[in-house]
Amino acid sequence: MMDCFNGLKTVIFKDDEQGNPLTTTSTMMSVDDEQVKWFFNDFNCVGEVEEWLYNLDLHVKLTLQGYLSDAKSTAENWDIDPEKPRDIWIDD
C-alpha cells in the first residue's frame, strides 16, 4: 500500500467465523502504525485492482474528511458545554 498511497501502510481485513480473511476491511493503518476505523462503513476490496484502489483512495479521503468535520463541529461548539473543561475536551 505504501507504494500507492502516501502515509497509508496497510488496511486491516476482517475474518470470517473460521478465522479466514475476508475481502472486507474495517480499519486503515498509517506508516506510523496509527489505526483509523473507517468513518462511514467498511470497505470491500473486490473487482479489478485499479477500480478498488481508486475507490479505496476515495474511502480514505471521505474517512479523514468525516473525522475532521466532526472535530471542527466539536471545536465550534466548545463554549456551549460548560461542564466539559478544555483538557477533557482535548482528550475526547
State how far the alpha carbon of 5 is from the alpha carbons of 10, 15, 58, in Å: 9, 24, 11
SS3 at position 42: coil
CA angle, residues 38, 9, 23, in degrees to nearest 5: 55
Give the CATH architecture of domain 8-91. Answer: Alpha-Beta Barrel (3.20)
pLDDT of residue 74 exceeding 90, the answer is no
- For the entire predicted model, the pTM comes to 0.76
Every domain of the chain and the residues it spans: 8-91
Residue 81, pLDDT score:
65
pLDDT per position as a tens digit, 21-64 = 999 999 999 999 999 999 999 999 999 999 999 999 999 999 99
